[in-house]
Amino acid sequence: MGAKKIVNPEKDFVPPSFTIKELRDCVPKHCFQRDTLRSFSYVAYDLCGVAFLALCANHINMLPPLLRVPAWVFYWIAQGVVCTGIWVIAHECGHGGFSANKTINNVTGWVLHSALMVPYYSWRHTHSQHHKNTNNMNRDEVFVPRTKSYRGMQGKPSTPAWETESVFEDSPLYHLGKLIGQSVLGWPLYLYQNSSGPKYSRGASHFNPQSVLFRPDQFWQIVMSDIGLLLTASVLAYATWCFSAATVFFYYGMPYLMVNFWLVTITYLQHTDAAVPHYADDQWDFIRGALCTIDRDYGWILNTCLHHIQDTHVAHHLFSQMPHYHAVEATKHIKKKLGKYYHYDDTNVLVSLYHNYKHCHFVEDTGSILFYRNTSVPKSGVTY
């Protein structure tokens, strides 16, 4: 399936004017109810999946030599997907959507995220700012678009990202190489130096309790996040000593890299698209930012394993404490209410990832409602 053809989203664009109350009122009340036992059943489901796949991997060396490499690749991909599902559950804990009990949320989230080498409290604080400031050019925390001048592209064309019939200076291999780098290194670079964040915090570390990312009263929570990572690192070091570095890399390291890929891909595609704008402060409000989100259908298997984080993300941004197991139902009602302001795309995830990375390069330096641009030359000859 090729990339979706987008009709000019900028023509006669009027920002949405819904209130949070009218959107909440369109969703059945039971969708906001959190069931701790049901939430833990998904944790058990995912952990059983991890154990089953690890047990299967333990028998790979019994296969004929020609089948071992594809078997390991399958294990890495499958285990990466299942572990991303665990990441999503911990993410739900960070929002308070796992349980009505704050302690259960934080303990569960800290354990699950620490096991995946994610600093739970550190990420929770910056992710909260992302939700409060989604697609705000000055205050959002992730995948904030770079401006044309920042990219050093003054004097070059400013072709709208929705204009797909255009010619690029760079080769497809160049875009693919950059995309692979983002997919593999994007998550650790975000944690270490907030690489895709806003100007004020670029270079700030999620591991430093005195970072500009955090308030002074959050100091010890950041320390707790670091302790969780040290405990996991100690377990991995002990496993390396007991078995081998190769064993730990095959069973844990490669699935960890796959989790990184899914985290970056899901987040990037949720808020990066030719069809959705970014707002300057004078035009931004919470609802407008939350609706700059795209629900993407990855297919039944991935949607289920990832707990619908990617195909119910509009609902999640509107009501972040809503548990994932109610989000599918809620999305049906929200979609009906939003009409043309509901964004959805069922293009193959890898096709969407490459297409958006190729076309969504920068936004203009001035303006209150900004859509993505690139420096390609339209085949029609029209210049922008």
Positive or negative: CA dihedral 60, 63, 69, 75: negative
Reply yes or no on whether the pLDDT at 139 is more than 80: yes
- Of residues 231 and 8, more confidence is placed in 231
CA distance 34 to 122: 24
Calculate the dihedral angle through the C-alpha atoms of 89, 94, 96, 100, rounding to the nearest 10 degrees.
Answer: 70
CA distance 126 to 193: 13
Reply yes or no on whether the pLDDT at 172 is more than 80: no
Closest CA to 161 of 324, 306, 371: 371
Query: Would you give the DSSP letter of residue 30?
Result: G
- Of residues 26 and 376, more confidence is placed in 26
| Of the listed ranges 25-29, 68-72, 141-145, the one predicted with least confidence | 141-145
Positive or negative: CA dihedral 183, 358, 267, 278: positive
Per-residue pLDDT, 293: 94
pLDDT band at 269 (very low <50, low <70, confident <90, very high): very high
pLDDT band at 170 (very low <50, low <70, confident <90, very high): low
Per-residue pLDDT, 110: 98
Query: Would you give the DSSP letter of residue 144?
Result: P
CA distance 154 to 257: 36
pTM: 0.91
- Enumerate residues 6+ apart whose C-beta is below 8 A from 58: none
- Enumerate residues 6+ apart whose C-beta is below 8 A from 149: 365
What average pLDDT does this structure show over 264-271?
A: 93
pLDDT band at 141 (very low <50, low <70, confident <90, very high): confident
Reply yes or no on whether the pLDDT at 384 is more than 60: no
- Of residues 140 and 5, more confidence is placed in 140
Give CB contacts under 8 A, 24+ apart, made by 29-37: 30/326, 31/322, 31/326, 31/327, 31/329, 31/330, 32/319, 32/321, 32/322, 32/326, 33/323, 33/326, 34/97, 34/98, 34/99, 34/100, 34/321, 34/323, 35/323, 36/98, 36/99, 36/100, 36/101, 36/104
Q: Which two tokens stand for residue 237?
A: 């070091």
pLDDT band at 6 (very low <50, low <70, confident <90, very high): low
Q: How many CA atoms lie within 13 A of 182 on its CB side?
A: 20
Q: What is the three-class DSSP state of 5?
A: coil
What average pLDDT does this structure show over 63-83?
A: 97
CA distance 360 to 135: 14
CA distance 298 to 345: 9
Reply yes or no on whether the pLDDT at 198 is more than 70: no
For the chain, the average pLDDT equals: 91
Per-residue pLDDT, 177: 85
Reply yes or no on whether the pLDDT at 382 is more than 60: no
**N-to-C CA span, the chain:** 29
CA distance 297 to 175: 24
Closest CA to 165 of 274, 61, 267, 60: 274
Per-residue pLDDT, 169: 64
CB atoms within 10 A of CB 69: 11
| Of the listed ranges 64-68, 214-218, 285-289, 377-381, the one predicted with least confidence | 377-381
Positive or negative: CA dihedral 310, 315, 320, 325: negative
pLDDT band at 186 (very low <50, low <70, confident <90, very high): confident
pLDDT band at 2 (very low <50, low <70, confident <90, very high): low
Number of H helices, E strands in the chain: 14, 8
